Every structure is written in structure tokens, then in C-alpha cells.
Amino acid sequence: MSEVLLNEENLIDLSSENLSSNFLFELTNIIEKKGLQKKSVKINFGDINLSKSRLENIISVLKGFYIDLIMVYANSKMTQIAAIESGLTVSGQTAECIEQVSQEEQASQANLDENAYTGEDIEDATLEGLLWQETNSESEQKETFYIKQTLRSGQKIEKDGNIVIIGDCNAGSEIIASGDIIVWGVLSGLAHAGSKGDKQACIRAFKINAIQLRITDLLARKPDKIEIDKVGKPERFNPEEAKISNEEIVIYSLYQENN
């Protein structure tokens, strides 16, 4: 797979970024600016230290854009090991020796990472986990409020429980629930799930177009876009789910594996 020739345009350079909570947003910004959706890319992580779970996070974001990550450049030993464990091709200043070392290390690391998934397992886990992971979650014991109306700008719904809305939630509206939020329509307003600290809480909608998503005390904002934002309804929806993964809000496309 490394035989595929790539031009510089398909290289995402993150070496100058710092590993703040905005890291994933910067990544999506770059993808959108360069129009890299559905392409094969290389990523340069520079000196950034990434744990394996953090890297898996990035890979799942890329999957959401249908991007194939074919190579990783990293100077950090930790990132290189994480990438190799995830089954990625790694290149860096010390990549070659690292690869040898890591194979030896993997045996000893395996003891430490008993709970960690291998790269393949993670893929299955994310797919199935989307729907079935939360069977024992707190949200099932909560009261559910069923609201059948279009939520317009300036309207606010705040409930102790789950909220189901049949209709769109337009920009400027607010939904706050201590449990899950499910929108049978386009979510463009502000949604805050798990407002009382339920980390299993999630937000599901036909289309998540929200300016801000909040789950517990975590916050995700919409990437800054350059072009006009067309909010028109597509002919087919691709339902999305936002939930916490490794202390960050990640939006999963519920359809991705079928495409």
C-alpha cells in the first residue's frame, strides 16, 4: 500500500500543533480546507506524543471523512509505537530501529496493555459499540420526554431525563437533558446531553449541524468554515451520533461501514 504515490497535498502536517482539546478540530479544519475527504493521506505528527487510544480517536475521525490513513510520520517514540500497534505504516527519524525494538517491546507491552484492543478489534468495537454499548447505561432508567414540534430560535427545552424531538432543532434553540438527546430531524441548535454528569449520554440526530455540542462538561464546537453553510435537507440522511470517547466528544456516522 505504500507504493501509492502521494503528492504533498495529501500530507497533513500537525507537527506545529499542540495537543490541546482543540486538536481534533484543527484536524477537521485542515481536512475541510484542503478537501481531503475520501482520499488517502499521510500525517506528520512531528514531536507530538500520542497514546494509542488518542491515535485511535484520530483514525475514527478520519474514517468519518472516508479518509484512508496510509502513512504516519512521527519523531516521538510513543507515537510511533502507538501507530505500529494500530497497524499503520510509520516513518520517522528513528523509525526503522523503532520498528525492530517495538516488536521486542510488544511482548512486554502486551502485559501492560492487557485491556487494549488490537487494531482490528477496535474497528469492530466502534461499529457495534455505537448502538449496543450502553445497554446498562443510566439513561435507560431516566424519564423520557417526547416532544413533537420544530424547535425554533429562542426556544429552550430543559429536562431531567432523556429528550426525544420529532422535528428540526433550528439554530438558536437550546436542548438541555440530563440523559440522551435524540432528534428526528436536523440538529442545528445547541444540544447539551448528560447535563448532570452522565458520561454515557449521547446525542443522536439525522444530521448533526450544531454550532456547539455539550456532553457533561465537555464541549465541541463546529469547525470554522470558509464557504457558505448550506443547511438544505439532503435527499438521504446519514444519521449521526455524538458521544464521549477518551474525554473528547466524537461524532460517529452510523452508516460509515456500509459505504
Partner 1 sequence: MSGRVIVITSGKGGVGKTTSTANIGTALAKNGAKVAMVDTDIGLRNLDLLMGLENRIVYTLVDYLNEKCKLHQALVKDKKNPNLALLAAAQTSDKTAVSPEQMKDICNKLKEDFDFVLVDCPAGIEQGFQNAIAGANEAIIVTTPEMAAVRDADRIIGLLEASEEILNYKLVLNRVRPKMIQANNMLSVNDVTDILSVKLLGVIPEDENIIISTNKGEPIVNMENTKAGTAYNNIAKRILGEEVDIPDFEAPPPTFVERIKNLFLTPACSK
**Min CB(229)–partner 1 separation in Å:** 8
**Min CB(148)–partner 1 separation in Å:** 13
- Dihedrals phi, psi of 146, to nearest 5 degrees: -105, 115
For the beta sheet containing 40-44, the strands, ordered from the edge strand earlier in sequence to the opposite edge, are 11-13, 40-44, 68-73, 90-91
**Helix/strand/coil for 191:** strand
Q: Which residues bind partner 1 (CB under 8 A)?
A: 150, 152-155, 168, 170-172, 188, 228-233
Looking at residue 235, the DSSP 8-state letter turns out to be S
CA max distance for the chain:
61
How far apart CA 14 and CA 167 sit, in angstroms, is: 39
Pairing outcome for strands 162-166 and 181-187: parallel
**Min CB(186)–partner 1 separation in Å:** 9
Q: Which residues contact 244 (CB under 8 A, 6 or more apart)?
A: 199, 200, 201, 202, 215, 216, 218, 250
- Our CB check for partner 1 shows the closer of 170 and 178 to be 170
- Our CB check for partner 1 shows the closer of 90 and 183 to be 183
Contact status, residue 242 vs residue 213, Cβ threshold 8 Å? yes
**Min CB(30)–partner 1 separation in Å:** 23
**Min CB(210)–partner 1 separation in Å:** 14
- Our CB check for partner 1 shows the closer of 51 and 155 to be 155
For the beta sheet containing 212-215, the strands, ordered from the edge strand earlier in sequence to the opposite edge, are 156-159, 174-177, 190-193, 212-215, 218-221
**Helix/strand/coil for 158:** strand
- Our CB check for partner 1 shows the closer of 155 and 212 to be 155
**Min CB(149)–partner 1 separation in Å:** 8
